Amino acid sequence: MDLGLTDKIAFVTGSSRGLGYACAEVLLLEQAKTIINSRSLQNLQSAKEKLLNSTHQMADLFAGDVTAQNFAGESTAFIESKFGKLDLLITNSGGPPPGTIETLTDQQWQDAIELSFLCHMRLIRAALPLLRKSECPSILTITSYSVKQPIENLILSNSIRSATVGLTKTLALELGKENIRVNSILPGSTNTERITALFENNAKLNNTTPEAEREKQEKAIALGRIAKPAEFARAAVFLASPAASYLTGVMLSVDGGAVKGVY
């Protein structure tokens, strides 16, 4: 199936490694002109090198912290000056820290609201004029399966990401008449630096080992294993692509059957 991504302009935030990187890799393989982002120019340069090796395509770079107040304006101004429009926006960043209601401070809650909710909103708002210049505009927020099933010791993600899926669904309803599709993709446990750090943290908390935590998690997944980033990215890029032209307002879990509810 042709995903219709040749020469489309795609911006993926939080993409020097992990899930965002995997999305950028699939986009480049599909011949989309892809802009990658992270806080570190050095990390972006090595990601660009790796992507060039695996896809033979050159990514564009935009370094910056998605939580900075001027990020949305500056990144979209860069895209406008270079490409004049945007076809696909994938909003992503690192995840909030683990903790419980009694260990997390007010500041950590505020920071998590910035990181896991407001930066999605600001970026989408700033990108809308550029998306309106596309023939196939599409927005994809990367959230978490925690919106369907709370994850142990991750109260910030379990609480705040629900605002982002609320935002996603509202925008799908409001922007549909302009042919702008808005979806969210809900990763389950996927092999990235973040999941390794979470297993290490849970091991300390439960007085076990990271390996035991990983095994416990795998037993809770219907497919019995953690996902590879590419498995997540293939679903994400399809959902964002013109090939998914009748899909909007969808909250798609890519969790190997970890969520136990029917819907």
Q: Rule CB under 6 A: is residue 97 a binding residue for ligand NAP?
A: no
Name which of 189 and 241 has its Cβ closer to ligand NAP: 189
Q: Rule CB under 6 A: is residue 216 a binding residue for ligand NAP?
A: no
Q: Please calculate the CA angle 147-207-217 and round it to the nearest 5 degrees.
A: 35
> Binding segment for ligand NAP among 2-10, 103-111, 185-193, 243-251 (CB under 6 A)?
185-193
**Kind of pairing between the strands at 9-12 and 138-142:** unpaired
Q: How far apart are CA 213 and CA 200, in angstroms?
A: 8
> Binding segment for ligand NAP among 32-40, 48-56, 97-105, 217-225 (CB under 6 A)?
32-40
Q: Rule CB under 6 A: is residue 253 a binding residue for ligand NAP?
A: no
Q: Rule CB under 6 A: is residue 190 a binding residue for ligand NAP?
A: yes
> Binding segment for ligand NAP among 79-87, 164-172, 186-194, 245-253 (CB under 6 A)?
186-194
Beta strands in the chain (DSSP E): 9-12, 33-38, 60-63, 88-91, 138-142, 181-187, 251-254
Which tokens in the block code for residue 109?
């809650």
Q: Rule CB under 6 A: is residue 59 a binding residue for ligand NAP?
A: no
Name which of 25 and 242 has its Cβ closer to ligand NAP: 25
Which tokens in the block code for residue 253?
């879990």
**Kind of pairing between the strands at 33-38 and 9-12:** parallel
Q: How far apart are CA 248 and CA 251, in angstroms?
A: 9
Q: How far apart are CA 194 and CA 174, in angstroms?
A: 33
Q: Which of 5, 19, 90, 259 binds ligand NAP (CB under 6 A)?
A: 19
Q: How far apart are CA 233 and CA 36, in angstroms?
A: 14
> Binding segment for ligand NAP among 10-18, 76-84, 174-182, 246-254 (CB under 6 A)?
10-18
Name which of 20 and 99 has its Cβ closer to ligand NAP: 20
Q: Rule CB under 6 A: is residue 141 a binding residue for ligand NAP?
A: no
Q: Give the N- to C-terminal CA distance of the chain in Å, as an integer.
A: 27
Name the minimum Å distance from CB 6 to ligand NAP: 25
> Binding segment for ligand NAP among 87-95, 120-128, 132-140, 169-177 (CB under 6 A)?
87-95
Q: How far apart are CA 35 and CA 125, in angstroms?
A: 18
Binding positions for ligand NAP, rule: CB under 6 A: 13-20, 37-40, 43, 65-67, 92-95, 142, 144, 187, 189-190, 192-195
